[in-house]
Amino acid sequence: MEKTIVARTGNEAMAEAMRQINPDVCAAYPITPATEIMQIFAGFVNDGKVKTNLITVESEHSAMSACVGSAAAGARTMTATSSQGLAYMHEILFIAAGIRLPIVLAEVNRNISAPINIHCDHSDTMAERDSGWIQLFSENPQEAYDAMIMAPRIAEHKDVSLPIMVTTDGFIISHGMERLEMYPDAEVQKFVGEYQAPYNVMDVDHPITVGSIVLQDYTFEFKKAQHEAMKNAKRVIMEVGKEFAKTFGKEYGLIEAYRCDDADFITISLGSTAGTTKTAVEELRNEGIKAGLIKIRSFRPFPAEEIAAILSKVKAAAVFDRAESMSNQAGPVATEVKNGLYDAGVKIPLASYIYGLGGREIFIEDIKDVYKELKNIADGKSKPEQAKYIGLKV
Amino acid sequence: MVKKPEIKTWKDIAVGGVVESGTAEYFHTGGWRSKVPVWQKQNCIQCMTCWAFCPDNAIKVVDGAKGKERGEFDYNFCKGCGICPEECPQNNKITKELKAKDATLKITPSTGKGTPGFDEKAAILFVGLKEAKDKYNIK
């Protein structure tokens, strides 16, 4: 296959994927740093490069509401947002997931106020972790582009039928220009295929009710069906990843285990920080420390067993969280990892760190220090700390 | 021995809980009312404003002498929101000179008599209207 090598930012890469998918409907409202995705896509609409019906609405609440209506009416539907915009969609996110609409959302991770800050952390996306959406994180524009192409296939799969958000890190990825391998439009369209609607409210010959009231009698069963769909999503993400590899040459799973096979010390992170960590791992390996990285790609569904299986072989591990959950224990990622370890009966020293809130930089040296601390913990020289702030002015 | 009724499980639910259309008819919501609107037919000019504004389908249209006209409330669906007396043009003509008894629509305290808010029919509808129709002889 003829791949085109171009230089693209994360936002440009996501907009290009959307152009190639050519969704039936997009409804969106601008917000930094995701604005550009829809701004570029609106250009494609204007230039006739896509046949999408682009609906400009008065708020993110309305954007997601329009997406729900559109997807229920049998149209492949996409949107983009960030931060307060995602928070403003909150109510409708649960509805989209509950009535099982496979909407694709390009989400750019950004701090949630207060304080007002437009830069990257994961507090917006983590706040929606219980909404019932599949959540994929991207290390760079390439992964965001690839995930956007896989997203409709995962979301629309008949065993899943759930909405999906593909995330990039605000500014770091969204506005950072990198090398991008683009695939031919026709190949992408062939891979994505026709929209697989779960039902169609506009089929007037077969009228249906969507979103009806269900009380004590069947809400519980309704939720169980949703729960099973999210379980199925784990399998489908891997299946679609394998099929993607056959077509485009790069395989994606729930996690990426980077130099984990013989690792003594592993850190877990997601998004752009995983890229920085890979460099740290290589430098530590040159210094004789067997470092490894688990990059979580799918936060929802959460790959607990897969992570626990790898961590069962290490001397110590640490989790990087780019969001607070104010639990006094650990951030959201560390909490999930610990859950998985307990269930798998794995007891290892595990430290958890909070970093990078509001776009605070994380450097290779910061990450290397964490690995060195893990070595101290394994040697009994110190104890693992929880929710420890790194990169803080102290 | 009493035969155990067949209970529909979570596996029987259509994706997203989609059901056939028109199920609201079997889900009586009038029991939520705390106040009751009363229609005084003798004062009504048949403008149908109340019918247009009713957020539910609680004001019925019936065949009258001159064609379609406003009928009684369907209290199975009236939640006593008070929009109809608010919008009634006849009510709005009421001044100090005219007395409240002249109102076409007036809100009165609830008598406590309501229709059941939820019944077994509505429950079974969620897992398949066709079956419920058969079971309850619903046309």
Extended beta strands in A286-376, E state = 291-296, 298-300, 316-321, 350-354
Query: What number is the average pLDDT over the span A368-392?
Result: 97
ipTM of the complex: 0.84
Q: Do domains A4-248 and A255-389 have the same CATH topology?
A: yes
**pLDDT greater than 90 at residue B112:** no
Give the integer Cα–Cα distance in Å for A103 and A162. 7
CATH fold, domain A255-389, is: Rossmann fold (3.40.50)
Residue range A5-13: mean pLDDT, rounded: 98
Q: B118 and A212 in contact by Cβ < 8 A?
A: no
Can you give the residue ranges of every domain in chain A? 4-248, 255-389
Q: Tell me how many residue pairs between chain A and chain B have CB atoms under 8 A apart.
A: 67
181-240 in A: which are within 8 Å (CB) of B? 198-199, 207-215, 217-218, 220-222, 224-225, 228
Residues on chain A touching B15 (C-beta within 8 angstroms) = 100, 161, 198-199, 225
Per-residue pLDDT band at A271 (split at 50, 70, 90): very high
* Spans of all domains in chain B: 34-115
Q: How confident is the model at residue B27 (pLDDT cuts 50, 70, 90)?
A: confident
Query: pLDDT: is A356 or A218 the higher one?
Result: A356
Shortest alpha-carbon distance between residue A262 and chain B (Å): 43
Q: Specify the pLDDT at position A337.
A: 98
Please check whether residue B126 touches A, CB under 8 A: yes
Residue A163 Cα to chain centre, angstroms: 12
A96 Cβ under 8 Å from any chain B Cβ: no
CA distance B95 to chain A (A): 41
Average pLDDT in the A129-155 region? 98
Q: What local confidence, expressed as pLDDT, does residue B97 receive?
A: 53
Mean pLDDT of all residues in chain A?
97
Q: Helix or strand or coil: residue B19?
A: strand
- CATH entry 3.40.50.720 includes domain B34-115: no
Determine the Cα–Cα distance for residues A266 and A374; give it in Å rounded to an integer. 9
Q: Which residues contact A220 (CB under 8 A, 6 or more apart)?
A: B10
Q: Do A199 and B20 touch (CB under 8 A)?
A: no
Long-range contacts of residues A113-116, Cβ cutoff 8 Å, at least 24 apart = A113/A83, A113/A84, A115/A358
**Three-state DSSP class for A245?**
helix
As a whole number of angstroms, the distance between CA A105 and CA A300 comes to 14
| Token duo for residue A180 | 């991008």
Q: Is the pLDDT of residue B14 over 90?
A: no
Q: Does A331 touch chain B (CB under 8 A)?
A: no
Interchain pair A209, B19: CB under 8 A: yes
Q: How far is B27 from chain A (nearest CA, A)?
A: 9
Q: How far apart are CA A329 and CA A306, in angstroms?
A: 23
Q: Is the dihedral of CA A151, A154, A156, A161 positive or negative?
A: negative
Name the CATH code of domain A4-248 (choices 1.10.620.20, 3.40.50.970, 3.30.70.1150, 3.20.20.10): 3.40.50.970
* pLDDT at res. B118: 47
Q: Which amino acid is at A164?
A: I
A95 interfaces chain B, CB cutoff of 8 Å: no
Residues 371-390 in A contacting B (C-alpha not used; CB under 8 Å): none
Distance from CA of B28 to the nearest CA of A (A): 12
What letter does residue A48 receive in the DSSP assignment?
Answer: T
Whether the CB-CB separation of A333 and A300 falls below 8 Å is answered with no
- Type and span of the H or E element at A10: helix A10-21
A153-162, A273-282, A378-387, B3-12 — which is least confidently predicted? Answer: B3-12
**Does the beta-carbon distance from B23 to A221 stay under 8 Å?**
no
Express each pLDDT in A52-77 by its tens digit. 999 999 999 999 999 999 999 999 99
**Listed residue (A18, A21, A47, A50) closest to A187, CA to CA:** A21
Is B10 in contact with A222 (Cβ distance < 8 A)? Answer: yes
